[in-house]
């Protein structure tokens, strides 16, 4: 028996990278996973097929959470077609890096809309049914950049820092109804984004990371599996760093 048996988890941005690892990990723990994607249906279906091959259950669900209508439609569709959402993982995110003097209004707004507003909209949409059921667990995927900042990423850092404030406020707002809200702050994880880092930047990151390596998406996924499980039933409003010690 998995610790998440019988629970339905919605993972935004679940078709690749950290999101795909989260979907796989939650399914391995027994959850039925709704793998959200915006455009890449093939990738989402591939994640579902891998989960199914391992004996789990997953459904690919399209939806753009950067607008309130899309987030409500996504949550409502999962509740209707898959079942009551017990776990929400706000993982959808993008980067549009540039120095502030060169950062366009469009690149600022796209990152805020997807990374921060998207999480707000999905939290808002799922809060009502969770409140009625008096249970639920939400994890917002922030970043070490949201804690410490990073040159050339003012938009991304602002969005990820905003997620921390959102997390702590919602934890206070929803806790009396049995709903836990936490955040996770990954460090530098091996993904498509970090694969393009210049050697000098990669070396600098590794030099500042006590464990001496980049993280793996599975490192983040396992931490989230803990946070949404009953083993973390007295943890809410927390920000768990998964960064190899980079933030020390």
Domain boundaries defined on the chain: 8-242
0.85 exceeded by the pTM? yes
* First-last CA distance in the chain: 37
Looking at per-residue pLDDT, the higher value among 130 and 206 belongs to 130
With a cut of 80, say whether residue 192 has pLDDT above it.
Answer: no
Give me the pLDDT at residue 196, please. 67
Architecture of domain 8-242 in this structure: 3-Layer(aba) Sandwich (3.40)
Whether residue 181 contacts residue 236, with contact meaning beta carbons closer than 8 Å, is answered with: yes
130's tokens: 């969770």
DSSP secondary structure code for residue 15 in this structure: S
CA angle 77, 42, 8 (to 5 degrees): 35
Confirm whether 156 is a catalytic residue: yes
Give me the pLDDT at residue 20, please. 98
Per-residue pLDDT band for 141 (boundaries 50, 70, 90) equals: very high
Q: Of 37, 121, 156, 188, which is the active-site residue? A: 156
228's tokens: 């949404």
Which region among 28-32, 72-76, 192-196, 201-205 has the lowest average model confidence (pLDDT)?
A: 192-196
Q: What is the pLDDT of residues 100-140, one digit of tens each?
A: 999 999 999 999 999 999 999 999 999 999 999 999 999 99
With a cut of 70, say whether residue 85 has pLDDT above it.
Answer: yes
Give me the pLDDT at residue 198, please. 73
């Amino acid at each position: 028996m998995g610790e998440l048996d019988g629970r339905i988890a919605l993972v935004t941005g679940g078709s690749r990278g950290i999101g795909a690892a989260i979907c796989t990990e939650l399914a391995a723990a027994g959850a039925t996973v709704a793998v959200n994607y915006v455009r890449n249906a093939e990738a989402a279906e591939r994640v579902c097929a891998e989960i199914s091959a391992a004996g789990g259950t997953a459904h690919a669900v399209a939806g753009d959470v950067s607008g309130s209508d899309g987030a409500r439609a996504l949550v409502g569709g999962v509740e209707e077609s898959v079942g009551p959402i017990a776990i929400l993982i706000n993982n959808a995110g993008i980067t549009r890096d540039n120095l502030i003097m060169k950062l366009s209004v469009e690149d600022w707004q796209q990152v805020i809309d997807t990374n921060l507003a998207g999480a707000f909209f999905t939290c808002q949409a799922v809060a009502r049914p969770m409140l009625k059921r008096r249970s639920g667990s939400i994890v917002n995927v922030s970043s070490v950049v949201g804690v410490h900042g990073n040159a050339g990423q003012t938009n991304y850092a602002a969005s990820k820092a905003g997620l921390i404030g959102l997390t702590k406020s919602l934890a206070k707002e929803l806790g009396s109804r049995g709903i836990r809200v936490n955040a996770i702050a990954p460090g530098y994880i091996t993904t498509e984004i970090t694969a393009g880092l210049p050697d000098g930047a990669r070396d600098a990151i590794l030099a500042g990371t006590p464990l001496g390596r980049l993280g793996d998406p599975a490192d983040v996924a396992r931490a989230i599996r803990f946070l949404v499980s009953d083993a973390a039933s007295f943890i809410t409003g927390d920000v768990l760093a998964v960064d190899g010690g980079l933030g020390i």
